Amino acid sequence: MARCSWISQAARIAWKDLHIEGRSREVLYTMGFLAALVVLVFSFAFISGQEGTVGPDAVAGILWVAVLFSGTVALSRTFDRERESEAICSLLLSPVPRSAIYAGKLAATAAVMLLVELLLVPLLAALFSAAIWPHALWLGLLLLLGTLGLCSVGVIFSAALLRARSRDALLGALLFPIVIPVLLAASRATAYLLDPAAPDLDPALFWTRFLAAIDVVFVVVGVWTFEPVVTGE
């Protein structure tokens, strides 16, 4: 049997998860619905008077809070399927590097989150008349980087919380303080991109680079800690 490369092993794990998700669409639907609700809740809370819209700062904040909240749902389910019948043991016993398992899980969770974000951004554009089209590709890159940053930490915590009773409540409590820099960089960059009155896009470029640097740090720490975290006591 031909030996699989690290990338193809990670891709197979991601494909397995996406395939199962594609059949049930459980996470996708609940996450998408929650993200849309978060946006609506913010609309009711922020919009007042006749004008009926909010500034780019608020739109960026709403987008990233919706991503964070709905992403927590996806992250809490990342290892849920492995919990049933102790499938995690089979996964860990398979001749695959642990880093490939981490990368596969990270890719699958990020893919589901990005799919929801793909629906979320046009919703924001429609509700708040946000100028998403002039820098659509850049915004897409920001969403990719921000999602990667959230997932790189979230996958580790989700794996470690596999057997905890209050894992759903704990995940958010542990994840949010750590990912504040991701949220800050992503929402700042998004606010500059969505602001038609911004004199130049240098700050957006700066925050995008900063976000990429945070991602590198988080992914390195994630790859490094995944093995000891999932290997039982």
| Residues contributing to the site for another protein (CB under 8 A) | 153, 156-157, 160-167, 170, 173-174, 177-178, 180-181, 184-185, 188, 206-207, 210, 214, 217-218, 221, 224-225, 228-229, 232-233
Q: What's the min distance (Å) between Cβ of 124 and another protein?
A: 21
Q: Which is nearer to another protein, 51 or 233 (CB)?
A: 233
Q: Which is nearer to another protein, 32 or 71 (CB)?
A: 71
Q: What's the min distance (Å) between Cβ of 201 and another protein?
A: 16
In the 3-class helix/strand/coil scheme, how is the chain assigned residue by residue?
CCCCCHHHHHHHHHHHHHHHHHHHCHHHHHHHHHHHHHHHHHHHHHCCCCCCCCCHHHHHHHHHHHHHHHHHHHHHCCCHHHHHHHHHHHHHHCCCCHHHHHHHHHHHHHHHHHHHHHHHHHHHHHHHCCCCCCCHHHHHHHHHHHHHHHHHHHHHHHHHCCCCCCHHHHHHHHHHHHCHHHHHHHHHHHHHHHCCCCCCCHHHHHHHHHHHHHHHHHHHHHHHHHHHHHCCC
Q: What's the min distance (Å) between Cβ of 214 and another protein?
A: 6
Q: What's the min distance (Å) between Cβ of 16 and another protein?
A: 22
Q: Which is nearer to another protein, 17 or 215 (CB)?
A: 215
- Can you read off the two tokens belonging to residue 98? 């642990």
Q: Which is nearer to another protein, 113 or 155 (CB)?
A: 155
Q: What's the min distance (Å) between Cβ of 12 and another protein?
A: 25
Q: What's the min distance (Å) between Cβ of 182 and another protein?
A: 9
**Rounded Cα distance, 138 and 67, in Å:** 17
- Cα–Cα distances (Å) from 163 to 86, 126, 150, in that order, read 10, 41, 21
How many residues can be counted in the chain?
233
Q: Which is nearer to another protein, 23 or 165 (CB)?
A: 165
- Can you read off the two tokens belonging to residue 18? 């996406």
Q: What's the min distance (Å) between Cβ of 133 and another protein?
A: 27
Q: Which is nearer to another protein, 153 or 194 (CB)?
A: 153
Q: Which is nearer to another protein, 121 or 153 (CB)?
A: 153
